[in-house]
């Protein structure tokens, strides 16, 4: 956006209005990272020279990106700034602020100029960014940012100062390592818990997972984990990272998927809440009698959602698991015994 604002600022200083700004009309000079690459603006077929004080009347542009005053047939260079607001909106959330089933429906929404930032899609975007978009998408051009104002906006000039990269917490690696030592039932329980927790409880880990997932494929490789740990500022990459990864990789895919990651990195402060553990306990307590029997344990550990976590031959190990967990020797695991297992490192 900084490069885009800069080129439009230059054009407007030369009294040139583009009149058809959209993502397709910016090309990358090469495939280098954006910090090292230069954008070029193309397609001047609808462009026009505009003398100071002159008003343009020809309706032109592309439905999603056209400014409302263009539709009214009375506009100047600030119509380009509206288009840049739409472009920035699209770049940050993936869809335009004004959309519909056809051009007529889109244009009717453009005329009104009403748009919103859907919380689910914009929760990772700073307030500075949304403020800049609001200043660009002003229906009244007199209140809209010029290219120079946009270029000097805090979000651009200071390179998004309030944007934050997800940080790895200090006990991230110890949580991973601790997961290796858990028995099969606890690993399965943690996967169940990962599916039960709400989005607020998982937000931090989701942000960390996203920041580690370098190629955005929804899975983590050892290389991505190493790179993420190195970037996070944690003192050292654990020597046993490969072994940790293999143990977390419950389905043997060679990569860690999102649920596996959550199960391995959940902090005790989250999963040791009794109400949270009770939700997991109820998944294992199939008949609802308040206790987990050998049969119920074997059934859950053989379930598709958690069987991979327990590894091959998990059902054969049920007897040994019950013996380890059944503190009072009644042949069942009650909630107190379940909680005791969850508290153990």
* CB neighbourhood size of 192 (10 A): 23
Query: HEC profile for 201-225?
Result: HHHHHHHHHHHHCCCCCCEECHHHH
Please write down the long-range contacts of 223-230, taking CB distance under 8 Å and 24 or more positions apart. 225/256, 228/168, 229/168, 229/172, 229/173
Phi-psi category of residue 293: left, alpha or beta, with phi > 0 → left and psi -120 to 50 → alpha: beta
Residue located via tokens 């006990």: 171
Task: Kindly report the number of other CB atoms within 10 A of residue 258's CB atom.
Answer: 17
Contacts of 316 (CB under 8 A, 6+ apart): none
Cα distances (Å, whole numbers) of residue 271 to 13, 42, 166, 267: 59, 54, 21, 7
Distance CA 226, CA 228 (A): 5
Task: Give the pairing of strands 39-41 and 26-28.
Answer: antiparallel
- Distance of alpha carbon 25 from the chain centroid: 27
First to last CA, the chain: 48
Residues identified as active-site: 20
Backbone angles phi, psi at 2, to 5 degrees: -60, -45
What's 2-36 look like in SS3?
HHHHHHHHHHHHCCEECCCCCHHHEEECCCCCCCC
Which of 344, 299, 302, 303 is closest to 325 using CA atoms? 344
What kind and span of H or E run contains 199? helix 199-212
């Amino acid at each position: 956006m900084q490069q885009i604002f800069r080129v439009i600022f230059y054009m407007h200083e030369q009294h040139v209005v583009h009149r058809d700004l959209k993502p397709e009309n910016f090309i990358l000079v090469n495939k280098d990272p954006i910090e090292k690459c230069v954008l070029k603006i193309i397609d001047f077929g609808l462009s026009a020279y505009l003398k100071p004080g002159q008003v343009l009347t020809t309706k032109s542009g592309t439905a999603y990106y056209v400014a409302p005053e263009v539709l009214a047939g009375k506009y100047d260079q600030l119509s380009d700034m509206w288009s840049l607001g739409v472009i920035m909106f699209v770049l940050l959330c993936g869809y335009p602020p004004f959309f519909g089933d056809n051009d007529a429906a889109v244009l009717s929404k453009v005329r009104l100029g009403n748009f919103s930032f859907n919380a689910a899609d914009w929760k990772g975007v700073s307030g500075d960014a949304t403020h800049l978009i609001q200043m660009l998408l002003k229906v009244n051009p007199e209140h809209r940012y010029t290219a120079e104002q946009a270029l000097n906006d805090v979000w651009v000039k200071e390179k998004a100062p309030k944007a934050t990269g997800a940080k790895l917490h200090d006990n991230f690696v110890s949580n991973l390592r601790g997961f290796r030592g858990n028995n099969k039932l606890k690993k399965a329980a943690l996967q169940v818990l990962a599916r039960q927790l709400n989005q607020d409880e998982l937000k931090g880990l989701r942000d960390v997972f996203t920041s580690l997932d370098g190629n955005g494929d929804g899975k983590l490789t050892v290389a991505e984990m190493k790179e993420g740990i190195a970037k996070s500022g944690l003192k050292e990459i654990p020597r046993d990272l490969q072994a940790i990864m293999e143990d977390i990789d419950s389905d043997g895919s060679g990569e860690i998927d999102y649920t596996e990651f959550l199960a391995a990195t959940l902090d005790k402060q989250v999963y040791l809440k009794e109400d949270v553990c009770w939700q997991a306990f109820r998944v294992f307590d199939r008949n609802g009698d308040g206790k987990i029997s050998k049969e119920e344990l074997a059934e859950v550990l053989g379930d598709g959602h958690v069987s991979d976590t327990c590894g091959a031959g998990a059902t054969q190990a049920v007897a040994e698991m019950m013996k380890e967990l059944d503190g009072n020797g009644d042949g069942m695991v009650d909630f107190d015994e379940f909680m005791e297992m969850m508290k153990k490192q």
